[in-house]
Amino acid sequence: MKTNKSYTKRLKIKKSGKVIARRPGQNHFNAKASRSKQLKKRGTDEFALSTKDKSRFVPYN
């Protein structure tokens, strides 16, 4: 199965094996958002992937 390269570029793998990525919806349309909403969008989210999904989205794991 081919690796989904467009999605792979958005992921990072920590040393512990956890997968992290940026939160969606923070690239544009932020000028009208309140400062508190803008700050909530910062940072990354950690999420779980099944073994099958890891093999598809994380080629070097």
CA dist 60 and 56 (Å) reads 10
Per-residue pLDDT tens digits for 16-39: 878 888 887 788 888 999 999 888
Check: pTM over 0.75? Answer yes or no.
no
* Angstrom distances, CA of residue 50 to CA of 17, 18, 53: 12, 11, 5
* Strand arrangement of the beta sheet that strand 44-47 belongs to: 11-13, 19-22, 44-47
Q: Give the pairing type, strands 44-47 and 19-22.
A: antiparallel
pLDDT for 12 equals 83
* β partners of residue 20: 12, 46
